[in-house]
Amino acid sequence: MSGSNSHHGSLLDAVKGQPKQVWITAFAAVIAFMGIGLVDPILLSIAKGLDATPSQVTLLFSSYLGVQVIAMLVTGAASARFGAKRTVLVGLTLIVAATALCSVAGSIEQLVGLRAVWGLGNAFFIATALSVIVGAATGGQGGAILLYEAALGIGLSVGPLLGALLGSISWRGPFVGTAVLMLAGLVLCAVFLNSDSHQKRDPIRLLDPIRALAHRGLLRTSVASALYTAAFFTVLAWSPFVLEWNAIAVGLIFCGWGLCVAVAGVVFAPKLAGKLGERHAAALSVFGYAVLMLVMAVPSKPVLVVAIVVSGLVSGLLNTLFTGTAMSISDAPRPVASAGYNFCRWLGGAVAATLVGHVAEWLGSPQSPFVVSAVLCVIAGGLLSLRERKPDAHTVPAEAALVGGEEF
């Protein structure tokens, strides 16, 4: 089903008469996506509470993403072997254990290690949740994907708010809150999700996603996406240190950012792809993101705040457009192409989150990571602008909703 159709109809149409397991999986997905922005407002208080440097604190993103990158190569094979329900439950159990232990961590090293376990759980859960929702939903794939994108948007915008509110009590608070909510999701999924362990599934081999990257178009798209994702995580992991504001202020900024991501991904991306074609729309958007990165490098906090929120709109476009391009540019099966693309893309995020603090130290300016990110986005736009033999699709495939799916 093409994205132009999959996004038609309102969210109201999509939610009517859905079975319990769709709602339960969507609820758990909201909590999982909250985990991304949850630590954003409390980065400064974690640094203070555990006597850690900015470079050490940004490792909270690196370990989470780094493990998720490797796990992405395994999740398809695991789901094909053990079934979606078992894979979802393993993922949720790991997240509950990791978040509960995060709340009692005594050092930054322990916290970084536990975030890695959280990333592993997230990879198993998120990569499988979309297939559960699509498989169980009534009213077709389009409505299910709209529901899933709504879950992504709610999670991205509520995560920073919850992190800010509980974080204003203590930096340990958001981890306790997530553990409790995830435990509720785990119990509901265990009770209400239908077992699919007897269904016949096509096997996926571990190295299939890497082999898919031998396709030049898919490799170019994946590398361009990795460069953009590096810039994306510079905004997420570094801007709280430049702002130096309290948890509530940072939480509100990133709540606005998350709402922009959601609206642009669901509403604007399919329209832009329809007019320009996915690849050209992505190239234009990533050049726009480069401009925003340069705006963020202006040493003014009000300018930075506006640029962060506006960048959410461009990120929403790029999340959907990049995934749509990756899905349609090669002849690899979509789950395999998606896994190879996501492996590259999140590798970009993990490397950026690791290096961003060091870049600021090496270049001697807190604004320098944004300038470096702008350069990376220009290179990404150049890669996307190279001519492809295959015509540029003017629809976003339904799987582009993996903007949530295997994206975070």
Quick check: 34 pLDDT over 50?
yes
pTM over 0.85: no
Note whether 372 and 359 are within 8 A (CB).
yes
Q: Which residue has the higher pLDDT, 78 or 121?
A: 121
Note whether 248 and 173 are within 8 A (CB).
no
Quick check: 164 pLDDT over 50?
yes
Amino acid at 403: V
**Percent of the residues in the chain that have a pLDDT greater than 70, as a whole number:** 83
Mapped onto helix, strand or coil, the DSSP state of residue 397 is strand
Note whether 189 and 25 are within 8 A (CB).
yes
CA gap 175, 230 in Å, rounded: 25
CA gap 400, 326 in Å, rounded: 9
Amino acid at 332: A
Helix (H) or strand (E) holding 339: helix 334-363
Note whether 167 and 173 are within 8 A (CB).
yes
Number of other CB atoms surrounding residue 47 within 10 Å: 19
pLDDT at 100: 94
DSSP state, residue 40: G
3-state percent breakdown (helix, strand, coil) of the chain, nearest 5 = 80, 0, 20
Q: Which residue has the higher pLDDT, 264 or 79?
A: 264
pLDDT at 404: 39
Handedness of CA 339, 340, 343, 344 (dihedral sign): negative
Q: What does the pLDDT look like over 278-312, one tens digit per residue?
A: 888 999 999 999 999 999 999 899 999 999 999 99
Note whether 235 and 294 are within 8 A (CB).
no
Query: What average pLDDT is seen over the chain?
Result: 81
Handedness of CA 346, 348, 354, 357 (dihedral sign): negative
CA gap 5, 12 in Å, rounded: 16
Which whole number is the average pLDDT over 184-206?
Answer: 72
Quick check: 146 pLDDT over 90?
no
CA gap 167, 162 in Å, rounded: 8
Mapped onto helix, strand or coil, the DSSP state of residue 331 is coil
pLDDT at 296: 93
Question: Which domains are present in the chain?
Answer: 3-405 (1.20.1250.20)
Which whole number is the average pLDDT over 387-391?
Answer: 62
Lowest mean pLDDT: which of 16-25, 31-40, 114-123, 395-404? 395-404
Beta-ladder partners of 2: 397
Which whole number is the average pLDDT over 201-230?
Answer: 83
pLDDT at 293: 95
Q: What six digits make up the tokens of 27?
A: 């609820």
Q: What does the pLDDT look like over 333-378, one tens digit per residue?
A: 766 777 788 788 888 988 888 888 888 888 888 889 999 999 999 9
Taking the chain, what is the end-to-end CA distance rounded to the nearest angstrom?
23
**Percent of the residues in the chain that have a pLDDT greater than 90, as a whole number:** 24
Quick check: 140 pLDDT over 70?
no
Q: What six digits make up the tokens of 258?
A: 């998350």
Q: What does the pLDDT look like over 220-247, one tens digit per residue?
A: 999 999 999 999 989 988 888 898 888 8
Given the structure tokens 């536990």, which residue do they identify?
114
Q: What is the separation of C-alpha 365 from the centre of its chain, rounded to a whole number of angstroms?
A: 28
